[in-house]
Structure 1
């Protein structure tokens, strides 16, 4: 495998493409071993990664970069405000409403947040999409391999895709919700200036 790949990494570009011009501060919520944090640092001068998993944070700090890695719960830790907030496969570890509200509060006016998350399908309604995802997963793994992250896993996700769509519409006026093929959804929201 030439470079790391998994379902979460596959959607990192979705976050990186939304970084607003002139962004100074970024927050990676649930940063794990810091891969997204390092990618954000290539385009944003000040990056903070926060996670509760100490072993993953030790791996992140081992890269010796200038990213501020914090061990703490993003719902409670005294964080600053940010121009960019990214979160990948983290929201299902906490109460989704509380998590989205906290992210909304931490975002500066004019800033952008992107959540890439996992949700629970409703069967049989979602079965065709799930089967398409299985086929796409096999194709990607055949070409790219698969890197297993060292962070804790929560399964099954407590919230369904439809529930996440409704929650995003309720809490983040004007947010874009998308359901993706590789068992993920994304919420993209720009905070009004």
Structure 2
């Protein structure tokens, strides 16, 4: 039985950041760690060809049951034989902390076509007391949204705590993706958006 798309959680909250990063004339997109396919189906509404890749077979079964015209692949994005430079958009939500950050960013960079966009929503490890304002803001925002919309807990495997702080991610991303744009968000997330230079 399909799960309604009115589901909400901290990751779903930032889908609009990814959707807003879709480049003009985007023809192909890859959703890394697609889980049950919610973002992949939203991307399919604006991108002709969308592929979702995930290691978790039960999540992919749920994704396929929803339909939506997305191709789902069970595999590891780091090793699956995707053709180099084959995607106009690569999206990833709450997945980067499951992998070595530098290795994952290099791999996704290589799979992007020139002019393509990488859009990541990630989870930083909290560093107190420096991150206390973000912790307070996140708690307030979480409580407000949860009272209005409820909270959907996904079934995919989790990694906690995230290994990298926001400062760690920034250093790595700026080294691997010159010109990357990073932003810290409430609800314990950050966004990373990078456009691959045109050839």
Q: Same fold (TM over 0.5)?
A: yes
**Partner residue of 2:68?**
65
Structure 2 residue runs of 5 or longer lacking an equivalent are none
Do residues 79 (structure 1) and 82 (structure 2) align?
yes
Of 17, 20, 24, which residue of structure 1 is paired with 2:20?
A: 17
Q: What is the correspondence of 1:93-104 to structure 2 with a 5 Å cutoff?
A: 93-104=98-109
Q: Name segments (4+ residues, structure 1) moved above 2 Å.
A: none
Q: 2:62 aligns to what SS in structure 1?
A: helix
User: 1:188, 1:158 → 2: CA distance?
Assistant: 20
Structure 1 residues 2 and 177, CA, compared in 2 at 3 Å: closer, same or farther? closer
Of 93, 97, 119, which residue of structure 2 is paired with 1:92?
A: 97
Retained in 1: the 8 A contact 2:5–2:38? no
**Partner residue of 2:49?**
46
User: 1:122, 1:63 → 2: CA distance?
Assistant: 39
- How many residues were matched structurally? 193
Q: What is the correspondence of 1:168-187 to structure 2 with a 5 Å cutoff?
A: 168-187=173-192
**Aligned CA-pair RMSD:** 1.2
Q: What is the correspondence of 1:99-110 to structure 2 with a 5 Å cutoff?
A: 99-110=104-115
Do residues 189 (structure 1) and 197 (structure 2) align?
no
1:89 positional shift: 0.3
- Deviation readout 1:32-66 (Å, 9 max, x if unpaired): 00000000000000000000000000000112332
Retained in 1: the 8 A contact 2:57–2:74? yes
TM-score (ref. length: structure 2): 0.94
User: 1:128, 1:86 → 2: CA distance?
Assistant: 28
1:2 positional shift: 8.0
**Partner residue of 1:3?**
6
User: 2:43, 2:178 → 1: CA distance?
Assistant: 25
Q: 1:87 aligns to what SS in structure 2?
A: strand
Q: 2:42 aligns to what SS in structure 1?
A: helix
TM-score (ref. length: structure 1): 0.97
Q: 1:57 aligns to what SS in structure 2?
A: helix
1:127 positional shift: 1.1
Task: Between 98-107 and 58-67, report the one with greater CA deviation.
Answer: 58-67
